[in-house]
Structure 1
Amino acid sequence: MFSNIRENSLLSSCFDNDIRMPIIQNNKYRPPFYLFNQHVETIVPSALRKVKGVNYRRERIETRDDDFLDIDWIQNDNSRLIIASHGLEGSSDRPYILGIAKLFSQNNWDVLAWNCRSCSGEMNKKEFLYHHGFTQDVEEVVQKARFHNYKEIVLIGFSMGGSLTLKYVGENSNNLYPEIKAAMAVSVPCNLSSSSKMLALKKNKFYQNRFMRKLDLKLRAKNEQFPGLLEIKPWKDFNSFHEFDTHYSAKIFGFKDAQDFYDNVQCYPYLKDINIPTLILNALNDPMLTGDCYPKNIAEQNQNISLELTKYGGHVGFLQKKSPYTYAEERAFEFFNNKVS
């Protein structure tokens, strides 16, 4: 099952000897031949990949601000737990979360996959939804996990979930719970301003429009839940996420505009403070990332961070030939097994 790990890994010997390599240029990962560009690499795994055999047990937890989160467990009395965070408008049922859940649960790990507010199939109770830096909900989930007395906990996040993961371990660097041993982020927009500019490009507007269309439906439902809360505009009236976030996200969360919102919620400023082993896996052909989304300077300065850059992979893609798991999933399994007992 793990032949691809052995073939693709550049770091197994380095991790075994506890040698740090902050920036890893991975030239070995190659997608299957039919994934011939960054868009196909991104869309096919999201739309067509099926992961079977994952059976969650759902639990609803009440948040401290009188809302709720739906979390999904796979528990087999293991002492190790992986907490998985999904991307923007995703859920615990996305294939990249299911892949992690299946791989780890079949190999002596318990799994907790959680859903951001409004992402579990039921609208949340508060006036707001969630965002890339809404780490108060990560804390709620971690606190629930600690109640089960796991000896070792690791965190993984994909795209927005990666941003939540990195910001959480960075902002809590001085008081991180001792059970949390390592973290990983995949296809993470470390700099939201840079990412929003990439999404505004004509060649990438498909992704931007898909996100805005889905969020538009939720915001309309939220406005029905709280009449007069928002000035609803058709999502097609916005030319960019910057405009969308200035009109909605910034106002909902009390920021001046989109730039103020991005500057305050993104994970980038917190990367320098991370003090547990952390792997960031970003593809250089990711249609949603550019600039500081690839935090090379920080990885060079912070020996706790390894930044792995692949030539291919798209956004949360990383499909592999002859493997049921993506390179990101197998890489996570390798990384975390080298960081916990």
Structure 2
Amino acid sequence: MPSMNKMFSPPWWAASPHIQTILPFIFKVAKPATFRQRQELPDGDFIDLDWLGQAQNGEPILVILHGLEGNTESHYARRILLEAKKAKIAAVVHHHRGCSGEPNRLARSYHSGDVDDLAYTLLQLKQYYPDSALYAVGYSLGGNVLAKYQGSLQQNNLLERAVVVSAPLTLGACAKRLESGFSTVYQRFLIKRLQRKMLDKINTANLTEQMPITKKQLKMLNTFYLFDDKVTAPLHGFTSAHDYYEKSSGIAYLQYITKPTLVIHAQDDPFMTDDVIPSKDQLSPMVEYELHRFGGHVGFVEGGWPWKPQFYLEKRIITFLLASINKPFTLKDTHKE
């Protein structure tokens, strides 16, 4: 197991992994103004991109991948958009299908190993902004997608640098983890949101016959494993949840990454087990791995007070991504406005 990283330390009142996970969800920062661009996809579906600023004169673009059932309003998306604004770089939130507030058109949705939509977005960005370096940060499910994208495309990877945060790199083990203890609270919250989306599709006239389950069956899917086995897998071309987990888990792709990438985990993450922690043999020389003892799931509260927490992630992400830019840039600069 990699040694613990000492760069992050929580305040005494935020040492609990559940405080780390839940507090940022409650006390969100104000989100900078964004504008939406609809991107039509080759299969007739669409995804929405929410932009902060515009890439001018070859300035870099930060692509943000949210987690399961997240969007631009997610606490971590708000904070990284704010930090990108302070650093004066353009940023764009790549919404997974059906996550931007409007149902997607097809029966299929998105999943942890779906790299095609990300690849399409990056290709479009590179065509429209050929002189801009593309960076990316992926959170949770989005982090797993980002890891798989980089490892599966290798030399065709259009990114210059990337950061993967709290990613369920071993999907089966993470699904099992969420079936016990307080972690079931998170599972129940997310499953209900997924069920509502699937129910809407079952009730949509032109999609009803394409759905792999009925309304009655949908109500019985109360774990991620059951949902993935009966919904995610058949809708996206997998034979079972096991097949989906095996082919989509990002940990197998880390050794093939060819661009500088930072992977950040907390060992107390209530969504994870130690199975997500890669061995040295599973890491490409281009991957820097940070394992912290504390931090929860996409939390990493490092100071302040419960009603006004301060965070570790955004400063770390921005400094890593912009390390290659040939211009003066320090940690202090990220807090200038």
Length-normalised TM-score, structure 1: 0.87
Please list, as runs of the form range in 1=range in 2, the aligned pairs for 1:215-226 lying within 5 A after superposition.
215-225=194-204, 226=207
Q: CA deviation at 1:141?
A: 1.5
CA distance in 2, matches of 1:291, 1:32: 24
Contact 2:28–2:75 (8 Å) recurs in 1: yes
Q: Deviations over 1:9-60 (max 9, x none)?
A: xxxxxxxxxxxxx9562234222333241111101112x1222151101110
Structure 1 unaligned runs (5+)?
1-21
Please list, as runs of the form range in 1=range in 2, the aligned pairs for 1:1-341 lying within 5 A after superposition.
23=2, 25-46=4-25, 48-78=26-56, 79-146=59-126, 147-177=128-158, 180-225=159-204, 226-228=207-209, 229-232=211-214, 233=216, 237-238=220-221, 240-298=223-281, 301-322=283-304, 326-341=311-326
Deviates more, 1:266-275 or 1:231-240: 231-240
Deviates more, 1:63-72 or 1:245-254: 245-254
Q: Match for 1:136: what amino acid?
A: D
Q: Match for 2:36: what amino acid?
A: R
CA distance in 1, matches of 2:176, 2:31: 38
Task: List structure 1 runs of 4+ shifted beyond 4 angstroms.
Answer: none
Q: CA deviation at 1:326?
A: 2.0
Per the alignment, in what secondary structure is the counterpart of residue 321 of structure 1?
Answer: strand
Q: CA deviation at 1:261?
A: 1.0
Per the alignment, in what secondary structure is the counterpart of residue 307 of structure 1?
Answer: strand
Per the alignment, in what secondary structure is the counterpart of residue 288 of structure 1?
Answer: coil
Change in Cα spacing, 1:39 to 1:210, as seen in structure 2 (3 Å) is same
Change in Cα spacing, 1:83 to 1:312, as seen in structure 2 (3 Å) is same
Change in Cα spacing, 1:55 to 1:324, as seen in structure 2 (3 Å) is farther
Contact 1:213–1:235 (8 Å) recurs in 2: no
Structure 2 unaligned runs (5+)?
327-337
Change in Cα spacing, 1:270 to 1:54, as seen in structure 2 (3 Å) is same
Per the alignment, in what secondary structure is the counterpart of residue 69 of structure 1?
Answer: strand
Deviates more, 1:183-192 or 1:313-322: 313-322
Identical counterparts, % of pairs = 29
Per the alignment, in what secondary structure is the counterpart of residue 320 of structure 1?
Answer: strand
Q: Match for 1:94: what amino acid?
A: S
Q: Deviations over 1:254-287 (max 9, x none)?
A: 2221101111122222111101111100001001
Q: Match for 1:59: what amino acid?
A: Q
Aligned match of 1:6 = none
Q: CA deviation at 1:296?
A: 2.5
Cα-Cα RMSD: 1.9
Q: CA deviation at 1:215?
A: 0.2
Aligned residues: 316
Per the alignment, in what secondary structure is the counterpart of residue 208 of structure 2?
Answer: coil
Q: Match for 2:193: what amino acid?
A: K
